[in-house]
Each structure stands twice: as C-alpha cells, then as structure tokens.
Structure 1
Amino acid sequence: MKAKNVTKNIHKSQKLWRYMTLDRLINLLDTKKLFFTPTKFYASTDPFEGLIPKSALDAIAGVLSKSQSEMIESIDKVRNHALLNSPYSDEIKSEAASRFDEIREQAKSHTLKMESIYFNIMSCVVVNCWHTNNSESEAMWKLYSDSHKGIAIQTTAESLIESVIDPKADRMFFSEIKYIDFDSPDIKPGDCVVNGNIGPLLKRTAFQHENEARLYFLPEKQYTNVEEAKPSPELIDVDINKLIHKVFISPYASEPFPSSVRCVLKMFGIPEEKIITSSLLTPGNHLTRMF
C-alpha cells in the first residue's frame, strides 16, 4: 500500500481490534483473505453509511451547477455563431438547431446525472473496519459477539498495512473515521473532508463508541460502468502471520467454546502464546472487594 494512502493521524504502533464471530475467523484463516463489505450492505444497521451531510452535498451540487451553466453557455454561443453564419439552407439550419437543442437539454440534466453517479460510486466502495483502542472494549464484545461467542483479532496499524499482499493494495486507503452531527447547522463543507476524502469516512456521532478506522477502495470493475455498477464484496490477500498478533476469546463465553476456539486455531497453525482468553470480567488476585 502506498504511503500517501495511509493516514498520518494513527500511529503505526496503535493497537487495532476486529471483533467477530468464530465462523468469520475460520473463513479468514482458511482463505487468508480479508473480507471487504460494500457500504450499501450496512444499510440495515446504519442507513446513513456512505452518505454525507447536506452542506457537503450542496457544495458538490454547486460545483456541478457551475459546470453545467458554463457548458450551456458555451453550447449557446456555438449554436448562435453556427446558425447566424451558416451558408446552408433553412432546412439544414433547422436540423442543426434541433441537434443543438438536444445537446443543451442533455447538459441541463448533467447535474442530476452526476449526483446519481456519485451516490452509486459511494454505495460500491468496499470497507474493512477496525476498532482503535489500546485495550479491549466491553461494548464491542457485546456488539459483535454471537450469543456471547465471539473472538477479537488484535494487531497494530503497521501490521495491518504490511499484511496486505494483494496487488489491489495500491488503490487502497487506510484512515480513521470522522464522527460528526449530520444535522448540525454549523457544519461546513470543509468539516466533511477527512484526509483529502469525503466518503466513506464520515459517520454520525451516535456511532462514536466504535472508534473506527478502515481500509477501503473502489473495486476496479466499478470503474468501467459507474452508472450501472452493482455493490459486491471483495476478498483481499493477506499474510496471516503478519496480521495476527493475538486472538482474544470473549470474556462472556463459557466452555466448550474457549476450548473449541483453541483447537480450531491450533489446526490453522496459530501458536498457543497468541491465544488469549479475555480476563476483562475477572478481577485479579491483587484486587480486594469493598463489600
């Protein structure tokens, strides 16, 4: 991954966590590929995923509107000049005028078309999300475990970036998420820019507890027809040994789940010292109860 595509706001030693169910971990270990989800697939949990505040949308619309006005003005100038100075018959001039009018109408619909293309592109961007934290998160265990049966991969920003070995890495970005109040009247277009990009790096403050950073890119197949592109997942090759520092087992899980996880991980060559049963809910012997 190119250095310019990596955020400067997250230190390379920053711990990252990916909380998931056991079946997702097995899939990662078996395929040695990270699963990237299209932003549109998150609509059920966050329908605002991939969207931007009105102020940013208005700014984009303003740029497109200016472009549209300039285009129409140019068409009118060419039209008037061509028809006024044309030596051809009135019939030919009439046909030319009709053609110019068609082009003018197409230009008028340019803004709406470009807005539609923008939102279609955003829905096709694929992401792989990580939680930034120096320690475990009780809230994340509850959010991403299946009936308390969950695991968490712990790595660092540097290891995550270096573990990606897929050729697509050159088109990939890694950045923190910016959490803002989409409804605030004080939001300016510049507030919606994160590391030179807008989507898909904006989320509402209601999701701030996720403290998210993500890898993301627009799949190559979406470049060829941005108007009709359909969101679909992507799988990216990674070096598992470089990626995984530790695998934590949920503090809420009871036997036989922890033993089963250890057995599965050993089958995939994950060493015992990398497998940790979370002690998040277990008081240490050095602590004394007050009641």
Structure 2
Amino acid sequence: MYTHDNHIQLPSDPDTIVWKYMDLSKLIDLLLSGKMFMSRSDKFEDQYEGTFSEPTYEEIKKLSADNPGFLEYYKQHREQVVISSWHLNEYESFAMWQIFTQKQEGLAIQSTIGRLQKALAPENQFAQYIGEVNYIDYKKEYIPFDNTFFPFLFKRKSFQYEREVRIITDVSGFDMKIDNGLKIDVDICQMIEKIYIHPKSENWYKNLVIELVKRLGFDFGIEKSDLESDILI
C-alpha cells in the first residue's frame, strides 16, 4: 500500500531521476528474488537515524512526563521501520561511486520517482512512503512528530551530499521481528530503467553483468559509466 502525506516532500515531476549504487551480489539478489532489501532504521551507520532534533526531543520529554510510554514507543518504532535509500541526481555522481562501490566493480541502478512509486507492489500490506530527506541543524531545528514517518525523513546537514530519497516501510502493525532488514516485493522491470557499470571497470566485468542480466531474463539497458571516458585534448 503506497501512501503519501502532504508534509512529505517529493519532486513533483515523476521523471525526476534517482540512483542506487550497489555491488554485483546485491543486484543478483534483487533480480533472483524479485524483492528489494530494506535496512532496519536503527542499523544505519548514522546513530541519529530515526531520532529527534533537540528542540523536538525537549517537547517530547514534556509530553512523556504524563505518558511514560511515549518515548519508549519511539525507540521501539525504529526497530519496526525499514528503509531503502536512493540518490536524487540528474547525473551519476563520482562521490557516490567512491562511497558505495568497492574497488573498480560496482553498479548503479537508474530509476525515476514515478517508476519507484509504480514498483511498490500494491499487495504489500505495510504502510509505505516515498519521501525526500530534509537536512537540518539538529541543535536548533524542529522535526514535526504528528506523523510517525517524519523522524526518518530528517538528517543532519553534514549528510546533505547524499541528496537522499527514501522508500520507508512500517511493519509495526504486524507481529514481525526484523533483524537487519526486510525484503519486500517490487516490480523489478518498473524499478530499473537502466544499469550503469563502474567507470573504472574492465570489459570482462561489463560483459559478465550483461550476460548475467540476460540469463536471468531481463533486458534492461546496460552501459558503462562514461565518467572515465577518454579526454579530448
């Protein structure tokens, strides 16, 4: 079930391009299973993930004085929310290749906001949102909490370079224990528009990816990133 909230920001143009950088094993897992892995929100490197800024925390503390379960609810809720991160950019990003792929092997899935919205399987029973992350000063700025998804759509300003769009799934209405994450059904052909291969990769690697994708029955456009193409001088 894909839902949307008026306060959640998202580029209005469905053709806005988004990227996901990954290694080959993750791509094979995605194509073989037809399911997208989403990480549990409190397992991200950023320990602030799903937490509140100081002004919001102060307000919640006041509310918790009368209702001690309030803060505990938010802590537990982080264990029930899973996230898939995408990078918002018209072009591929040199920095993202360096951060999210190993050595000279790695891939980038190119998709769009509209494709992601359509790719989320309607038969998923969970509440799902797609939203753009807001980057704020956690010491000064306020995070609204009238929607339980909001804490997961804010990050500190030092992460601005990520330009992140998130698919967020909440399983708190279900009796589920999530360890590191959860795989959810997606329409792979909707989700993937094109696959780009690491700019420093060798030809055998490119051919391997093309062959694998073909054998698995998909026919996405696959091309090598041209970030490292020959200079003209």
Q: CA RMSD in A?
A: 2.4
| In 1: Cα distance, 2:3 partner to 2:70 partner | 30
Output one character per residue of 1:268-287: Cα deviation in whole Å (capped at 9) or x when no partner. Answer: 2232x600111012146xxx
Matches within 5 A, 1:57-72: 57-65=57-65, 68=66
Shift of 1:8: 5.1
1:120 aligns with 2:76: yes
Is the CA contact (8 Å cut-off) linking 1:151 and 1:250 kept in structure 2?
yes
Residue aligning to 2:224: 277
Cα distance between partner residues in 1 of 2:125 and 2:193: 21
Q: Is the 8 A contact 2:80 2:172 kept in 1?
A: no
SS at 2:227's partner residue? Answer: coil
Equivalent position amino acid for 2:182 in 1: E
How big is the shift at 1:224? 5.0
1:249 aligns with 2:197: yes
Q: CA deviation at 1:231?
A: 4.6
From the superposition, tell whether residues 195 and 149 of structure 1 become closer, same or farther in structure 2 (CA, over 3 Å): farther
Q: Secondary structure, in 3 states, of the residue corresponding to 1:49?
A: coil
Secondary structure of the residue that 2:22 maps to in structure 1? Answer: strand
Q: Within 1, Cα distance between the matches of 2:109 and 2:28?
A: 12
From the superposition, tell whether residues 5 and 31 of structure 1 become closer, same or farther in structure 2 (CA, over 3 Å). farther
Instruction: Please state how far the C-alpha of 1:57 moved relative to its aligned partner.
Output: 0.9
**Structure 2 partner of 1:180:** 136
Structure with a larger share of its residues in helix: 1
Rounded to whole Å, the distance in 2 between the matches of 1:20 and 1:194 is 32
The gaps in structure 2 that reach 5 residues or longer are none
2:195 matches 1:193? no
Where does 1:1-291 land on structure 2 (aligned, <5 Å)? 1-5=1-5, 7=8, 9-10=10-11, 11-42=13-44, 45-65=45-65, 68=66, 110-111=67-68, 113-168=69-124, 171-183=127-139, 186-187=140-141, 189=142, 192-193=143-144, 196=147, 197-220=149-172, 231-271=179-219, 274-283=221-230, 288-289=232-233
What's the CA shift for 1:117? 2.2
User: Which secondary structure does the structure 1 equivalent of 2:56 belong to?
Assistant: helix
Letter in 1 for 2:10: N
CA contact (8 A) 1:36 1:126 kept: yes
One-letter amino acid matched to 1:258: K
Matches of 2:175 and 2:120, distance apart in 1:
25
Shift of 1:217: 1.9
- What is the CA-CA distance between 1:238 and the residue it aligns to? 1.3
> What corresponds to 1:98 in structure 2?
none
CA distance in 2, matches of 1:147, 1:24: 16
* Distance (whole Å) between structure 2 residues aligned to residue 15 and residue 169 of structure 1: 27
Q: 1:195 to 1:26 in 2, by over 3 A?
A: farther
Bigger Cα Rg: 1
- Matched to 1:62, the amino acid is K
Residue 156 to residue 231, structure 1, CA distance change in 2 (3 Å)? same
Shift of 1:200: 0.9
Moved more, 25-34 or 246-255: 246-255
Normalising by structure 2, we get a TM-score of 0.89
CA distance in 1, matches of 2:133, 2:87: 10
Residues 93-112 of structure 1 show CA distances to partners (whole Å, capped at 9, x for unaligned) of xxxxxxxxxxxxxxxxx42x
Runs of 4+ in 1 over 6 A off after TM superposition: none
Tell me, what secondary structure is at the counterpart of 2:38?
strand
Q: Tell whether the 8 Å contact from 2:126 to 2:170 is kept in structure 1 after alignment.
A: no
SS in 1 for 2:155: strand
The 2-side partners of 1:140 and 1:257 are apart by 19
The alignment partner of 1:199 has SS state of: helix
Decide whether aligned partners of structure 1 residues 270 and 201 sit closer, same or farther in structure 2, where only a CA change above 3 A counts.
same
